[in-house]
Structure 1
Amino acid sequence: MKDFSKGPAARQRRLVGIAFVAALHVVLIFGLMTGLSRKDIEVVRAPIETKVIEEITKPPPPPEVAPPPPPKLEAPPPPFIPPPEIQVAVPPPPAPTITATPTPPPPAPVPIAPVTPAPVASAPPAPPAPPSLLAICPGYKQILLDGGFPREARRAQLDAGEVTVSFTIATTGEVKNVAIVKSTHRAFNRHSIEMVSQFKCIGQAQEVTGVLLPLTYNSQ
């Protein structure tokens, strides 16, 4: 059998392949020497732009505003109805009266009948009634008129008042133990005591105790 691999055609193909490989090596060496490979490397090493893509965040929703409360509806005030006018007739102020009330005599003892009959003692006679205050203390009315309306009552914005004064008339005519029995306001008390203490009285056989003097004050 004939071997064609050792013929001239095979040798020719082998030589062509060797020459092609040699030419390829020559081209590669030439390229390395002339820097063609560097340009390729620089192209490969071109800067790569990197961009950071941030996530787009939505803005937070606005806070919810609570609606204002509805206004309170108040009931309208009731209509004003003026009260009817009532005319009251004011009686005129009573005139000041001064009376002296003497101390009543003690009651007569009740006789008790003993076992054996005995004469019953008669009750002591009642003391005579004291004379009127005008007879005992002449001029007392003028003292009351000159005293006028108390200043303390005016400062207290009082227009009227009543006071009852109790005092004792000594045997020398001196007025003592002046006290307030009752009063509508204390603003009248000191003025009343000062006026009664100025009385000039006439002494009697015995002291006149428990004399009551009602006083009525009116600023008008």
Structure 2
Amino acid sequence: MDFSSRQPQPQKHLLGITLVIVFHVALVYALVTGLGKKIVDVIKQPIETKVIEEIKPPPPPPERVLPPPPKLEAPPPPFIPPPEVQIATPPPVQNVISATTSTPPPVTDIRPVAPPAPPAPPAPPPKALPKTIGRVCPTQVQPEIPRKAIREGRSGSVIAKAMVKGGKIVEVEIMRSEPPRVFDDAVRDAMMQYRCIEDGPVTQEFVFKLD
């Protein structure tokens, strides 16, 4: 190997010497200012350790053991003595000899049987008594005499049949009117305003007279 080509490099040696000097200066400064002592004290401090215990869940409640159900035994059936059967002894048979004579059978008179009488017809239902209009409909309205009858000076009468339902008159039928159709509308208008307390048909007569 040829070592003649290697030349010394003074720059590298100078850099190494400078680093050594700086390290010693820093070390002396740390000893003088007590920085090293503080570092040693920090290292000497005891390390605190904490043991964290694991929280255990509470034990499950003990299972409730139900007592076995009592055995229900049916009581023995009561003793029923067998019924006493009494066997009746037949009476002794007596040998009886009887004399019989043959007689002709009686002659029966056969006649036709009359048919039964037909049942009587049912009695007719009792006729319902006519209802009084004043009792069935205590609240009534007096019909007005038509103007035509007043102008012509007519008098007359009307017989009307009404059907009461739910306390009101729902239908009015003119049975007889004298003179015809003169006072019919007045009678209908008046009876439709009645207030009644019973249901069913009622009949009323109206008489129109001019003073």
**If the TM-score is normalised by the length of the shorter chain, which range does it land in?**
0.3 to 0.5
Relative contact order, higher structure (CA 8 A, sep 6+): 1
TM-score of the superposed pair, with normalisation by structure 2: 0.39
Q: Give the structure with the higher percent helix.
A: 1
